Amino acid sequence: MRALGVQGRTMLRRLSRADTQAFLAYRRDRIVARHQGWSQMDAAQSRRFLGAMQTAPLFPLGNWCQIGIVDPHMPQRLLGDMGLGTSEDGAEVEIGITLARTAQGRGHATRALALAIRLVWTRSAAAGIVTFSDARNLPSIRLTDRLGLPGRHQVATVFQGAPCIEVGYVMQHPTRGGLTKP
């Protein structure tokens, strides 16, 4: 499988139907899912979704594309996935990460986010990257802080039917100008 980026023991690649079992396993894990905005899928929906993501454009305007997170030494074993959501005008890309519990705490999220940032800057025309996290999701907050993503802001909102504080980050491309909104 062709890599979209590799850093140490983490690789980004296209998803495929062969990932269905691993994809369903971590996405059905309540602890993994509690801070995620995606909806649950059954096996048939997952196979269709993963098959579509195998050939979907990386940065479709006004839509999301999911890519896989794997260990380059075992690229057939899916550890998680990453969403790349491109704004309608292509000016920004939102990044979201889901990682199986067994893969957490090993640096995969840090390396995957660094790779995704590089991918956005090299394969899209985006002027900025945004990420959001529920303030109760401390590992996610530490991840974005560790990578030094600037523009941290907090907003009171409702997530999965409950009030929460959403923490957002905005990173501007160093030469393409910046985003006008936080």
pLDDT in tens, 4-28: 999 999 999 999 999 999 999 999 9
The model's confidence at residue 181, banded by pLDDT at 50, 70 and 90, is very low
Assigned token pair, 137: 């999701």
pLDDT in tens, 137-173: 888 888 888 887 776 788 888 877 888 888 888 888 8
Tell me, what's the pLDDT at 150? 74
Question: How many Cβ atoms sit within 10 Å of the Cβ of residue 28?
Answer: 11
Tell me, what's the pLDDT at 162? 80
- Domain residue limits, the chain: 3-126
Across the beta sheet with 162-172, the strand order is 3-7, 10-14, 64-71, 74-86, 92-99, 128-134, 162-172, 153-159
What percentage of the chain exceeds 90 in pLDDT? Answer: 63
With 50 as the cut, is the pLDDT of residue 182 above it? no
Tell me, what's the pLDDT at 178? 58
With 50 as the cut, is the pLDDT of residue 78 above it? yes
Greatest Cα-to-Cα distance within the chain, rounded to the nearest angstrom:
43
pLDDT in tens, 86-113: 999 999 999 999 999 999 999 999 999 9
How are the residues of the chain apportioned to helix, strand and coil, as percentages rounded to the nearest 5? 30, 35, 35
Tell me, what's the pLDDT at 179? 54
- Alpha helical stretches, state H, the chain: 20-27, 30-33, 43-55, 108-123, 138-146
Residue-averaged pLDDT of the chain: 89
What is the CATH number that goes with domain 3-126?
3.40.630.30
Contacts of 58 (CB under 8 A, 6+ apart): 4, 65, 67, 84, 119, 123, 124
